[in-house]
Chains A and B, each alone.
Chain A
Amino acid sequence: MSVSAMDIYKLLPKTNCAKCGEASCMAFATKLSEKETDLELCTQMTPDEFDTLEDLIAPAVKEIVIGVGDKTTTIGGDEVLYRYELTYYNPTSIAIDISDDLEDNAFEEKVKAIEDIEFERVGETLTLDAISVRNKSGDVDKFAAAVEKVKDAKYPLVLCSLNPAAMKAALEIVGDQNPLIYAATENNIEEMADLALEYNCPIALFVPGDLEKMKQLSHTLRTKGITDIVLDPGTFVGDAIGDTLDNFIMIRRLAVEERDGDFRFPILGIPALLRLNSEDDDVTKGIKEATIATTLMNKYADMMILNGTDIWELIPVLTLRQSLYTDPRKPQAVDPGIYEFGDLDENSPVMLTTNFALTYYTVEGDLKSGKANCYLLVLETEGRAVDVSLAGGQLNGKAVADLIKDTGIEDKVKTRKLLIPGLAAPVSGEIEDDSGWEVTVGPRDSSGVPDYLAKHA
């Protein structure tokens, strides 16, 4: 359960000194409860008071950083079970698995593929987050050699080996880069814990299918003074995916609702395991791997290791992540006003759209890729799409007439012609009446706009 502003307020100095930048302690408490400011900004507390409050507002799930410098990924930090309650923090970190027995060329190609994958949507560039090097060979030297090859790669590392000797060899190379050690198990926990302490790195705990044992071992690590733990309760696929899901949900519930210290850590899922002993063809494996990733990301995976690097498999996973981790309290909107594309003159066409971020960036993408030359008026619809703002009344004749006046577009063009989205056809007459402009109804999908403009030029 998240902590209320009142709970926090009770522990603040209540001096209303405003040194934190907020007008009052209550305002500061509200911001703190919504994670929009930092406790450090309060200068009026004793160290004890500070510690008490810091503990109170610590997220239910520990936030853990993997990597160093500009090569990091941060996981965990969540406070709630359902995103509508607050928001989910720190988008699920996606690592791609790479095996230490790949031939040099294949190895390099895969690293390059991982580093190069990016996909732009809604004004944001979506990328992967980490590289997971796996000691498939079981050989200490091979593992070290593979780790050597990725030590200068673009992303932070996950080191996958259950062999403490191999892990030590890898840490000797990249131990100062704060990689995630994967993994401590009931068989190697002493040695792995020692390595985590020696190199001061976060460590994953792999306890497949047994939450009771996971609790014990997590407790063991904590007793040793380890604070950065990642929990992998095992990713079972096929008929057992339901059990995987149950385990993920139980861990998160124990963290958020029971505040069980042994479970208040990020969860790691491994959709790559879909490929273990699979008879499917490569395309089916890719589709199914995305399916497992979808399942685990929806229910609390803070980090995932995938194996596939096909863009068609990763785009839906990255898109889902972007959607899940938007802030439900903020409309996804761009600033209303006038936007310019290409070479413009006083005869350039003028178009209209709404300020819903997805709508705007879709239209922008189409205008740019279609090399259109035009003005685009963006209407304040409180982040609603064309059809929704039409139904909700934000897109109406008066609002558009005001937009035309406020933007000063009438000083930029001689024409008085406005092209509106196909879906806005029902208000075309109303806009003409209120603005005095001539309105033309354009294509329903903005991908058709550049062609439309070319034809009607």
Chain B
Amino acid sequence: MDKMTQLLKLLENTKSIEINEFRMDFEELELYLMPAIQQAVQKSVETQKAISKEALIMEEFKPPIQDYPGKVAEVQLGKGTRKPVYLGGQQALYRFEEAQPNPPVVTFDVFDIPMPGLPRPIRENFEDVMEHPGEWAKKAVNEFGANMVTIHLIGTGPKVMDKSPREAAQAIEEVLQAVDVPLVIGASGDPVKDPLVLEAAAEAAEGERCLLASANLDLDYQKVAKAAVDYDHAVLSWSITDVNMQKTLNRYLMKEGLTQADIVMDPTTCALGYGIEFSIDIMTRTRLAALKGDTDLQMPMSSGTTNAWGSREAWMKNDAWGPTDYRGPIWEIVTGLTMMLNGVDIFMMLHPTSVKLLREIGETFVNDYLTTELPEIDDWITQLEG
């Protein structure tokens, strides 16, 4: 070992190598030297490269494009009487590498009951329609430009109004009648009742290709998967900021007969300032794994961006922080946008301003690189007002 170290040291300060010098000890050191020689040769090649770089005045600029062996599956939502939307389908991380196939999709949260707990800046936009999920959905689509609607069947919660799966199905029918965008169907979060509610809702929406939200490891995900297979829907596969948990759940769901094209992943959105960095890391790792070829993670991702409203900075009255009318929407946009920049494809959101701005910016992310006319900013120093 010491001889090798000394030899390596010698090599480090050498710009070129006479291979002859090594032949002397070759037999003796053969086993050890192989990697050492490789290293030394590589090093000298690198040094040479560095030298030629300096000497060459202008190297050609080459965009840093990578090859990815994997591909994110494309998931269709909406069929039958719905205008379909498509999620996923990416074959590269960024649009300068390869055109991005589908713009991000925003789905507006609507509830089957008037939801007393909604923050004021949201309530005041929907006060007139909160008794009727169909009207609520219509307003979200027609006035605020949602691509989709999420109908949360909160009223089925045993501690909320304990509505029956049948009543849930009726709410679904009402919303299906009211709008022609695809639906996400969410339940109340009760692990026992949710599968029953989702099953009834799936049947009511047969052939409309909804996204059933959600399957997770704490409930009878087999029932949810079966409902999706039987009535042709997709499933939201929800894990809690854990790549391995997400892989496991996806594998289980695929065993039940779902394919990559029937699953959307929700790796959990932690709100801005409340752990958003954990979501960033998980989403980045998940998307990279997909593009590198991990078939258990090659599905589009969803973000419960609405979680942003749980942050105090979004809703709490505090004069030192400025009006909640502005803070709430920004908190939701910054949370959603951060998720978008790290690979999320579909966003569940609550505030009209947030939905509008996120959609606008999201759509520019699917234009091809340098196909947009660049605004004139050369003289910004003298042109900018204020």
**A interface residues, Cβ below 8 angstroms from B:** 10-11, 14, 48-49, 52, 82-84, 97, 99, 119, 121, 134-138, 160-162, 185, 208-209, 211-212, 215-216, 219, 234-243, 245-246, 249-250, 253-254, 257-258, 261, 270, 272-273, 275-277, 283, 286-288, 290-291, 294-295, 298-299, 307, 310-313, 315-317, 319-320, 322-324, 326, 328, 358, 362, 385, 391, 447
Contacts and interface: CB of A to CB of B under 8 A. Distances in A.
A254 B94 CA distance: 14
Contacts of A313: 322, 326, 330
A179 to B, nearest CB: 15
A288 B356 CA distance: 11
B280 A324 contact: yes
Interface string B345-386: 000000001000100010011110110111101101111111
Contacts of A322: 273
B116 interface: no
Contacts, number: 196
Contacts of A52: 12
A418 to B, nearest CB: 25
Interface string B81-99: 0000000000000111000
Contacts of B384: 97, 99, 134, 136, 272-273, 275-276, 307
Contacts of A48: 13
A161 B381 contact: yes
Interface stretch (B170-178, B246-254, B313-321): B313-321
Contact of B277 (A83, A272, A307): A83
Interface stretch (B21-29, B57-65, B144-152, B191-199): B57-65
Contacts of A261: 53
B333 A291 contact: yes
Contact of A319 (B272, B341, B369): B272
B127 interface: no
A211 B273 CA distance: 34
Given A236-B377, A295-B337, A243 B372 contact: yes
Contacts of A270: 380
12 contacts: A134-B384, A208-B377, A240-B374, A246-B96, A273-B377, A287-B329, A290-B334, A307-B386, A313-B330, A316-B334, A323-B277, A358-B273
Contact of B342 (A253, A277, A298): A298
3 closest A-B pairs by CB: A312-B322, A84-B281, A212-B61
Contacts of A10: 8
Nearest to A53: B12
B341 A276 contact: no
B226 interface: no
Contact of A323 (B276, B333, B367): B276
Contacts of A258: 64
A212 B53 CA distance: 16
Given A209-B374, A312-B330, A82 B382 contact: no
Interface in B305-331: 312-313, 316, 320-323, 326-327, 329-331
Contacts of B57: 219
Contacts of B64: 250, 253-254, 257-258
B382 A135 contact: yes
A208 B333 CA distance: 27
Nearest to A261: B53
For chain B, the bracket of interface size reads: 35 or more
Given A291-B361, A324-B277, A240 B337 contact: no
Given A136-B382, A208-B378, A323-B273, 20 more contacts: A83-B281, A97-B386, A119-B321, A215-B58, A234-B374, A237-B375, A242-B366, A243-B369, A261-B53, A273-B380, A275-B384, A276-B384, A286-B326, A291-B334, A294-B334, A310-B326, A312-B322, A313-B330, A319-B272, A362-B312
Contacts of A215: 58-59, 61
B32 interface: no
Contact of B381 (A83, A162, A235): A162
Contacts of B369: 242-243, 246
B242 to A, nearest CB: 11
Contacts of B327: 312, 315-316
Most buried by B among A258, A299, A316, A326: A316
B12 A319 contact: no
Contact of A240 (B280, B285, B375, B381): B375
A307 B5 CA distance: 57
B357 to A, nearest CB: 6
A287 B330 contact: yes
A48 to B, nearest CB: 6
Nearest to A214: B61
A185 to B, nearest CB: 8
Nearest to A369: B318
Nearest to B331: A316
Contacts of A328: 277, 281
A290 B377 CA distance: 19
Interface string B1-24: 000010010001100000000000
A305 B333 CA distance: 20
A384 to B, nearest CB: 10
A276 B377 contact: yes
B386 A121 contact: no
A24 to B, nearest CB: 15
A138 B58 CA distance: 34
Given A208-B377, A312-B322, A316-B331, A276 B383 contact: yes
Given A219-B58, A239-B364, A239-B367, A287 B326 contact: yes
B338 interface: yes
Contacts of B370: 243
A338 B58 CA distance: 63
B164 interface: no
Contact of A287 (B277, B280, B333, B373): B333
Contacts of B364: 238-242
B274 interface: yes
A284 B342 CA distance: 25
A294 B380 contact: no
Nearest to A366: B312
Contacts of B280: 83, 298, 324
